[in-house]
Structure 1
């Protein structure tokens, strides 16, 4: 049985450093946490790559919303993939959809080719498809190495049975990585139900605002999200058994 590992979804460089320190094996680096993650900046990817030694997979997603892209957006995706390759990333996280929400296999094949030799994870675009079993075979045929999935539910721990069925169907041809709502308190049950070897979590916490003065009349600051290091360590401990 392969060792079970944790991928941390990171929205800041601080989280990437925490993830490595706490024993995670990989970081999915994103911007824009409120809308599910979009492509991080060149500067962010470069600085993270310089700072951490674990695997780095930036999300390649030019905008939030659906994964039905036009040709200009696919051109953006191609440019961003090239940057990731030049900066020494180990892989990317990406998704594609047709107008009918199926996996757009023609574009995904091109993306896998553009990414080579980097590994390609299909992100939760998979969870929006009508038939996950058909979509899984399509991802394998396109050359994806893994799929990040909540089992087509809001949270992966609510979809243990389906995730287990996907792991069986995959039969080692692609890695099924449960993610969304994964915590140290539900991870053991999810392991038992899914039998997956890789898991994904943000362990998200709001960082305190260090400013000595805050204008409370202004409400559009947003929040800085970082990983709770104790929670990451707890999940890594569960995965190590």
Structure 2
């Protein structure tokens, strides 16, 4: 594949991370609870993934589901999680914080950036719920982030593709805009053409059947198998990128 294109896989477990690497992903974003938009994984998960993978490992630092206006204790937790990621030898972190008014919380984010030190920095999809995405982009650039993960303010990146293209044009090479949300092998080529993006974020996941042979009548919402990134789906995404790059 053309080296100018990057495929990041959102991996929710060690198994997902290994599948992403096997499929040829450029790097992973390690997280927990993808069904909640992603949360910070456990220290053990981080350590095991870093030990087993040879590709870059970026860790999502998000202390809870919901909005991105954090209390003091949540901010302290994020700073400690970033310090742990650095000590564990991770390559980057994915972070973000907003004010109650819907702007980038520059003061808190500056502390997060400082804590990250040498780590590669991605500002996550908090930008998609900002009051003024253009002002938010400029704030993130000013803070020194390397990339922004965004769906273009829509439920999926394809629906937000026009806005993503405007963000990329506004960024003018100062920061990478990485589309994410709902990306698969069937739409990544169209998304590349619509946005001009060079980095893409997908989960490449599939649902696995439960290992349980016994399921109680009332499973209290705890029935069903896991969802995991799939190496074959990662390969399909990469093949689509390769074909589109070859035609460009």
Matched, 1:234 2:236: yes
**Structure 1 gaps, min length 5:** none
Query: Superposition pairs for residues 83-232 of structure 1, below 5 Å?
Result: 83-221=84-222, 223-232=225-234
Q: TM-score, normalised by structure 1?
A: 0.96
Over the aligned positions, Cα root-mean-square deviation in angstroms equals 1.3
Q: TM-score, normalised by structure 2?
A: 0.93
What displacement does 1:227 show? 1.3
Range that drifts further, 45-54 or 203-212: 203-212
Range that drifts further, 60-69 or 221-230: 221-230
Range that drifts further, 228-237 or 120-129: 228-237
Partner of 1:29: 30
Asked if structure 2 preserves the Cα contact closer than 8 Å seen for 1:105 and 1:138, the reply is yes
C-alpha separation in 2, matches of 1:188 and 1:128:
26
Partner of 2:67: 66
Asked if structure 1 preserves the Cα contact closer than 8 Å seen for 2:28 and 2:56, the reply is yes
Partner of 2:246: none
Asked if structure 2 preserves the Cα contact closer than 8 Å seen for 1:25 and 1:54, the reply is yes
What displacement does 1:2 show? 5.6
**Structure 2 gaps, min length 5:** 244-248
Asked if structure 2 preserves the Cα contact closer than 8 Å seen for 1:30 and 1:59, the reply is yes
Asked if structure 2 preserves the Cα contact closer than 8 Å seen for 1:6 and 1:236, the reply is yes
Asked if structure 2 preserves the Cα contact closer than 8 Å seen for 1:5 and 1:239, the reply is no
Per-residue displacement from partner, 1:177-211 (whole Å, max 9, x unpaired)? 00001111011110001111100011221122123
Per-residue displacement from partner, 1:52-95 (whole Å, max 9, x unpaired)? 11111111011110110111111101110010000010001111
Aligned length: 241
Partner of 1:40: 41
Partner of 2:19: 18
Per-residue displacement from partner, 1:119-161 (whole Å, max 9, x unpaired)? 1100000000021111111100001110000000000011111
Asked if structure 1 preserves the Cα contact closer than 8 Å seen for 2:205 and 2:233, the reply is no
